[in-house]
Amino acid sequence: MAINGNLYDWEGVSVVLQDGMVAGITEIKYSDEQPITAHYGRGSLPRGYGRGNYAASGSFVMDRDEWEKLKISLAASPHGSGIYDHEPFVIIVAYANHDMPEIVDTLKSCRITKFDGGGGSQGDDRVSAITCEFTILEPILWNGIPAKKDNF
C-alpha cells in the first residue's frame, strides 16, 4: 500500500471553546445517537420500527491551567455564579493539515455535566488534568451536515 500523505493527526486538531482556542486540551470525544426499535406483530420479522430520542454528548481532557480559565468563564454566566449555572456554549473541533480538506464539527448548545480530576502522585509529569463531560442539546453538525433535522 502506498503512503499518500499525512492524514489527520492530533497536531492538526484545533478545539475552540467559549473563550477561544484551547491549547491545553489533550483529548476530545463526542458522539450522538438515535435508537431504532423494531416493532413486531404476527411472525418473527419486524413489521416496522420506531425511533427513539436523539441524544448527543462528549468529553474532553484539559490541563489544570486551562481548566482554571474555563471555570472562571463558566461561573461568570448571567444566570448564577456556580460552574454548572452556565449558558449553553458552542464547541468547534477542526481537523486540518496541508494536504487534506479541513473538517469542522460544530457541537451546539453544550452544557457541562460533570468534572473529574485533580490530584496526582510523585513522579507524574502531568498532574491534575481535568476531564469534563458535557451534553449537547442540539444536533451535531458533522462537517456542516446536521445529524438530525428539526422537523418543526
pLDDT digits (tens, 9 = 90+) for 1-29: 445 666 778 888 889 888 888 888 999 99
Could you state, in order of their start, the residue ranges of all structural domains in the chain? 10-35+64-146
Residue 85's alpha-carbon distances to 32, 59, 82, 102, in angstroms, are 24, 18, 5, 34
Q: Are 34 and 6 in contact (CB under 8 A)?
A: no
pTM for this predicted structure: 0.86
pLDDT digits (tens, 9 = 90+) for 52-77: 999 999 999 999 889 988 888 888 87
What mean pLDDT value characterizes the chain? Answer: 88
